[in-house]
Structure 1
């Protein structure tokens, strides 16, 4: 790990920021106290809501932690395509007895206000999803003593982030659960991506910045593998979803290892942006028709997702999960960090034995 990252945590284990409630302060504090680096997710929260979680985290632990921000998204949606998809979802609105959301009630996720708070009262790390901030923003964070991490899905995005002044990169492979953090969502681009190991190699040859690897990682042996491939740390999201400190819905936690959900897929069905989740009825029926329209589709489906969760219908929920979801282990987050660290040591020892003369 780089010197800056080494100073932040005992182990090269990062708990991913999972927007929507999973990455609550209790989870972040437990990871931090166990020697990892935890992240609060500011996405979908107000600026005041973000700051209250920061205050709660500081009351729970004195260990370093990070905050993740969503970048404002350009207007790429075709209004007619959004309206066609709304008509397709009319049956869902009838089934759940709730109106569809307003696609225009989106805004910029309070980005400017959140940046202002984090510059006024700095935290150790700030990461960014769905794009790269302007150079002056990254320079302001650096001046405040905050390490900045830009999430990238290609070597070109990595080069752009380096040019803008990012302190580190989170390299996201296509195996990752939740939204793919492409900087530009191409409506004609399809639902594809690059595998994590290949992406680490491509980015490592393109830029000389600390790399945090993420995408389908569930075991310490996998962390050891991405470190050997050139990463400085590993970020895990799905692995922490099943922890009792996670704020994920109980049905979401259960679905990770439920035989009913056998695979994941990239889909625009719930948000209009490519995101990996467990394949359920909603994904099968609506995924093929969902347009590239984030956050408009996220707003439209919001009431449906909330009502599905309220009524206990996992077939209508956005069950974000990485490709390794069946390997999820239900245990306290601190114990999981310790187990991952032990598995890393065991994997290193096994390599040393095999390579001994």
Structure 2
């Protein structure tokens, strides 16, 4: 083995011993760097005769090419090794289940509202929605609550700064009962046979019965362990020429038994007082089996619509009669799903909400 072959072999061994790209570059400098051994040999050609210079230069170039080939091969080997380590570190185990984004669901109170709408829809009731910022007239006066009624107190009702277009003060509706009057007004104007209670304008023609429920958010200045200043309520109304208290009992009994899927559910109508109905009754229910068996639970208020409210709806109370009821959807939700703490509906705890998917 001549001198140049030995030099090339030495370079291969040095490159093979380099464990990192930095070590490899240091080894390269010893052989083909600016001060490397091949470079020094090339500089020494100037002292040789012309004929010998040509032969010696060709031999040095062959050694240089061999060294450069070994350098390129080692660079590629180190790059391949680094890539292999990276692939192992970032390896994907295809046998593991994929990560899926969690699927959301409706809030339990929303599920209850959908169920209420479906049950009453099967009995021919429309669903009405209205403003949550309501006129004092629709919230109280139209419902037979005079200006000195205690429900108008700041302790019971949230008022809004400013007044409506008609100059009447505004509030966050304390119940969805205003939608009864609003809906019948629209119904009367569409079908006739009524009058505007404030202007006195008359409308002629026959009017079909009104059957409607009004679910939605309501607000009262009431916040303790069992109440929230914002809650959900559903009002119901059936007005016609021959609607009696008996119809109220049949409709609400059928609704409760369908909603709770229990035919042995017992209802009790307990005499009470509400300014917008006369006679009035609290509605209690009793389950005959399960954890709540034997207990009477108040779930709604009801009664035949007061003649003054019928009149404020734009109808003749001598001809039209009806019944109304109001129930808390939060309470119905708690009873249906066995929830024992109202605050769970507002905490936003995914562990609680995920149970209703």
TM-score where L is the length of structure 1: 0.26
TM-score where L is the length of structure 2: 0.26
Higher RCO (CA < 8 A, seq sep 6+): 1
